[in-house]
Each structure stands twice: as structure tokens, then as C-alpha cells.
Amino acid sequence: MQADWRAVIAEKYIARSSAIAARLIGGEMMIMSAVDSTFFTLNEIATLIWQAADGCTPLSDIVTSKICPQFEVDPKQAGRDAEEFVNHLSRHGILVISEQPITNSPPEAR
């Protein structure tokens, strides 16, 4: 299944931006962009993606190893949804996206 998902989109590496404020409250991640003051409340799946955004783990691996097993979702659909989600947060300066591993990712938000 992983090969099918990787064929759907190009490989992406994601990292949390340093220009944010983030806190985990009651299982949901609350994030505010310092760039445009946009506030986001992430659901459980989005929080998993956020927490795994270390700049070194490909998005496809996050989907196949964390999201699909825990939530029993189709890898292709989960991959498309994850890509849409990270693109949205990237437009607000919350996540950084690269085609190569990102080595200077910020420390994990608490």
C-alpha cells in the first residue's frame, strides 16, 4: 500500500516553523502563527502529523506508520488529506515543506 500512496504525490518532508506558539491542551494542539496571527485548533489526526513533523520523516511515512494503523483509513485518501493539510498550514507559515530532509527543524512544541 505504501508504494501506491507514494505514487499519488511527490515525497515531502515537513517541519514545524519557529514563528509559532503552540500548546497541547486536552489532546488537541493549539497553534498561533506569529506571521499573520492565524489561530488553529488541530484535531487528533492533525495533531499526530504536527507532532511527527521533525523535518526528517517523509510525510508518506507519517501517514503509513502513524495515521493509517491508528485510524484504519485508506492510505491514498489519508495521503491526499495529509498533503492538503500540510499545504494549508505552510501557506500560513506554520509548517515548512521541502522535497529534501530539513536539518534545522525547531524543537518540539509542548
* pLDDT at 10 > cutoff 80: no
Is pLDDT of 5 > 70? no
Domain at 2-95: CATH architecture: Alpha-Beta Complex (3.90)
How many angstroms separate the CA atoms of 85 and 60, rounded? 13
Grid-cell match 488537541, residue found: 28
pLDDT tens column, 69-105 = 999 899 999 999 999 999 999 998 899 999 999 986 4
pLDDT value at 109 more than 90: no
> What pLDDT is recorded for position 63?
95
User: Is the model's pLDDT at 64 over the cut of 90?
Assistant: yes
**Residue spans of alpha helices (H) in 18-74:** 44-52, 59-62, 68-71
Q: Which pTM does this prediction carry?
A: 0.82
